[in-house]
Each structure stands twice: as structure tokens, then as C-alpha cells.
Amino acid sequence: MQLARNSIADHNQAMLSSHERQMQYLRGEIAHADQIINKLAAFQVAIPSWALGTGGTRFGRFSGGGEPRSLEEKISDIGLLHALNRSSGAISLHIPWDIPTDANAIRQLAAQHGIRFDAMNSNTFQDQPGQEASYKFGSLQHVSKAVRKQAIQHNIEVIRHGVELGSESLTVWLADGSCFPGQLNFRQAFQNVYESLQEIYAALPSNWKLFVEYKAFEPNFYSTTVGDWGQSYLYASKLGPKAYTLVDLGHHHPNVNIEQIVALLLMEGKLGGFHFNDSKYGDDDLTVGSIKPYQLYLIFRELVDGMDAKGMDHATGLGWMIDASHNVKDPLEDLLQSVEAIMIAYAQALLCDAKALEAAREANDVVAAQELLQSAYRTDVRALVAAARLRNGGALDPLKLYRSTEVRQQLIKERGNKSTATGL
Ligand code: LRH
Ligand code: MN
């Protein structure tokens, strides 16, 4: 489904005067407004291929209809998001949920929508039909060499698909762990995973990165073999320079100081990227910034300072990906809100006077430090984010235009109410 030719131009025309009023005020308040807009305009967030349909939980799944039935339709839906906000120019595939039948055709279709292929995701947490050995008791940690070999082969196969599509990174998330005390030899499990990751690492093309994603719990509920940033950092450090940690915001126990973890991993040069989402309790995979927007801002504060300290390019230095699941929202509206929340947190982080903040810290002026941090957070930067979109040819208010052009209704007309797409 394509947006009608002039729908974005007409939408922007109708909203331009109020946008320019807000920009005039912000330009009066923010000396470096244009630098912030430049950075926002260059910033792209990868959309997960598994988050374009209704996720659901083990208790139920309530599809909203018009959901993609193929990889081609998933790419077209991301094309729509990107046409609206010009900040969703990448897709992250999950194998075998999204095995391309014709890699060249898929690559060309994505290019037509201005979409590139971000990190590939392997899947050794589900047994596929006809699969030789089961992952019930883990994959790369498994006591059986044959099971580990099967999982290693799968990851190498995922790399092959990624090379054909132009991806340059592989994310390995392992459900591996244990549900009961006594079930697992932690040291042997670590060693098995490490040796298995070494074989996967050895299969990486020279320009590729390996992201080791950690998670505190689920589906195992006593131990997880890549359970926290320390374990992921241990693997990534032992594996070599192409291996990094991946921070999924929902993979921490409540109240963990994620921004401190981000600051240290970045300082060590071992932060590879993010799976952005939000959560109240567990791995809830909710809309980014919907529960803890201040934490998201504090994370971007550490990212901006940490990347600037290392001279890293913000747009390309790390893997910026969303990992969400939708139960009650239209998936595309949810993703538009998530990208917006990321861009707002990034803009506020860029707005904060980092030099003055450092001076307050040096002076142990705790109050001044908080005032500097929160004055940026309390600044409505939405017009700056909109200005970046306008500059890139996007809509001033993507969600409003998505609704006013009745995209979902048209998708339901085209695809029907049932959803068949594989994935979570
Ligand atoms: C695990 C996870 C991982 C994906 C899956 C879809 O919870 O975050 O990143 O493979 O979700
Ligand atoms: Mn994730």
C-alpha cells in the first residue's frame, strides 16, 4: 500500500504555520538548533520484521487485521513507516521467520523503499518442523555436541542470508539456561556457549559484527546462560574485536541502572547496539518511552557523551533497533510512537549543556547538575524532531497522517482481517 502522492505535502502544508511558530520560539531559545536537527535527520532506527503483526501472549492474541502475510508485505509496511517519518530506513530480520525466497528481489524491493538490512537475528529458541535435534534443554549450551553443532550451523546459515541481503551484523539471543537448581553445570554451560560462539565468530565476514544479547530471565526461570551485561561482556571480550554486547531495555530486573551499564560498555568499546522498548515488570516489549521516558533520556545522555568522548558517529556507531510486541495497539501506530520517543530522547540529550553539566559535576554541585539535566528533559523538542522529518521529506505529524489517510482500513481491504505472518 502506497501513500497517495501528495498526501504528505498536503498534510505538511496544513500544519506548516503552527510548526514554524514553534520553530521560531525554539530557535530563539536554542543556539544550536540546526546542529540538533542535522543529527536527528541522519538518525535511522531499524524496525523488527517480527513486530508488524499483533504479538499476543500465551493467554491470547487479538489481531487487528490487515497484517503482513509475507516478507514482501513486511518490507512494504516498513516502507510506509519510513515514508511517514523518514527515520525507519532499516529492517532487522529473524530467521527462519523471514527466509527470503529470492534475496535479490527482496533486496531490490527494500531499496525501492529506501530500506537497508540491519542486524540478522538467529533463532535457536524454537524447534522447527523436521528439525533433527530439539532445543528444549538449550542450544549453544547443550550437553550434546550434536545439538550445539546444529545451532552453530543455523547461525552460519543466518550469516549467509545476511550477506546476500547486505546486512553486516548478527544478533545472537539465547533462551538457554535452566529452570531448577541442580539442572545445569553453569561453568560447563558457559564453556559450551563460548566455544560455540567462537565457531560462529570464525564464520563472520571481516566487516561483520556479532551482537551478544543478554536477558535476565524467560523462558528459563532459574538461570540464563547469557543473563546480564557482565556475562555478555565476558563472551564479547573473550571472542574478539568483532563481538559486542546488545542491550535490550526489557532484559533487566526492575530498577537496574541501565544508563550506567550503557556508559561503561560504551567506554570499553564493547557496546554494539540496542533493542529499544519499554517495560513495567518483565520483558514486556511495550512502546518505547511509554513507561519510563526519563530513563530513555538518561540512556541517550550517556550515549551522546560516551560516543562524543570516543569520536563515534551517532548515526552509524551503534545498532539502533526496536524490539517490541503489540497486544492492544495497531502495530504501525505503536512503531510510529516508538520511533518518535527515541528521536525525542535523542534530541533532549543533544540539547543538554554537557559542558556545564561536567562543570557542575567537577564542583559537586548536585543541584545544578540536576537542573541542567532536567531543563533539557523538560524542553518540548517535538518541533525539532518534526523539522528533521520535514527536511527529509516526511510528515510533520506521521501518526495524524497515518490515521487521516486510513492506512489500516486500506490494508484490511487489501489483506483481509486474518493475519498469517509468522513470528512472535
Ligand atoms: C528475546 C528477544 C530477542 C529476539 C526476540 C524476538 O526476548 O528480545 O531479541 O530474538 O525477543
Ligand atoms: Mn531483543
Nearest residue (CA) to ligand 1, atom 11: 323
Residue 328: Cβ-neighbour burial (10 angstroms; 0-12, 13-18, 19+): exposed
Name which of 348, 94, 60 is nearest 213 in CA terms: 94
Q: Ligand nearest 226 Cα, by number?
A: 1
Distance from the CA of 323 to the center of ligand 2, in angstroms? Answer: 5
Place of cell 499476543: 56
Nearest ligand 1 atom to the CA of 213 is: 9
Euclidean distance between CA atoms 159 and 201, whole angstroms: 10
- Give residue ranges with CB within 6 A of ligand 1: 50, 121, 173, 213, 215, 248, 275, 283, 323, 424
Name which of 173, 195, 167 is nearest 126 in CA terms: 173
* CA separation, residue 99 to residues 55, 72, 103, 136, 175 (Å): 19, 11, 9, 23, 21
116-146 tens-digit pLDDT: 999 999 999 999 999 999 999 999 999 999 9
Place of cell 482481517: 417
Distance from the CA of 253 to the center of ligand 2, in angstroms? Answer: 15
Indicate if the pLDDT at residue 276 is higher than 70: yes
* CA separation, residue 250 to residues 191, 298, 327 (Å): 26, 16, 16
Residues whose Cβ atom is located within 5 A of ion ligand 2: 248, 275, 323
CB atoms within 10 A of CB 151: 28
State mean pLDDT over 177-202: 98
Counting ligand 1 atoms within 8 A of each CB, the residue from 50, 139, 176, 213 with the most, and so the one to mutate, is 213
Indicate if the pLDDT at residue 422 is higher than 80: no
DSSP-assigned states of every residue in 62-111: ---S----SHHHHHHHHHHHHHHHS---EEE-BTTTT--SSHHHHHHHHH
Grid cell at residue 339: 520511533
Residue 403 — very low, low, confident or very high, per pLDDT cuts 50/70/90?
very high
Euclidean distance between CA atoms 80 and 3, whole angstroms: 7
Name which of 253, 232, 249 is nearest 173 in CA terms: 232
Buried b (16+ CB within 10 A) or exposed e, 223-256: bbbbbbbebbbebbeebeebbbbbbbbbbbeeee
Confirm if 84 and 395 have CB atoms less than 8 A apart. yes
Nearest ligand 1 atom to the CA of 125 is: 10
235-265 tens-digit pLDDT: 999 999 999 999 999 999 999 999 999 999 9
Residue 284 — very low, low, confident or very high, per pLDDT cuts 50/70/90?
very high
Indicate if the pLDDT at residue 424 is higher than 60: no
Counting ligand 1 atoms within 8 A of each CB, the residue from 173, 214, 286 with the most, and so the one to mutate, is 173
Indicate if the pLDDT at residue 410 is higher than 60: yes
Regarding pTM above 0.95, the answer is yes
- Find the helix or strand (DSSP H, E) in which 199 lies: helix 186-202
Q: In whole angstroms, what separates CA 117 from the centre of its chain?
A: 13
Distance from the CA of 215 to the center of ligand 2, in angstroms? Answer: 8
Task: Specify the pLDDT at position 63.
Answer: 87
Nearest ligand 1 atom to the CA of 248 is: 8
Taking all residues of the chain, what is their mean pLDDT, rounded to a whole number? 96
Which of helix, strand or coil describes residue 53? coil
Percent of the chain with pLDDT over 90: 95
Residue 419 — very low, low, confident or very high, per pLDDT cuts 50/70/90?
low
State mean pLDDT over 74-86: 98
Percent of the chain with pLDDT over 70: 98
Nearest residue (CA) to ligand 1, atom 10: 173
Task: Specify the pLDDT at position 88.
Answer: 98
345-375 tens-digit pLDDT: 999 999 999 999 999 999 999 999 999 999 9
Indicate if the pLDDT at residue 291 is higher than 80: yes
Which of helix, strand or coil describes residue 136? coil
Indicate if the pLDDT at residue 418 is higher than 80: no
Indicate if the pLDDT at residue 200 is higher than 90: yes
Nearest ligand 1 atom to the CA of 250 is: 8
Q: What single DSSP character describes residue 286?
A: B
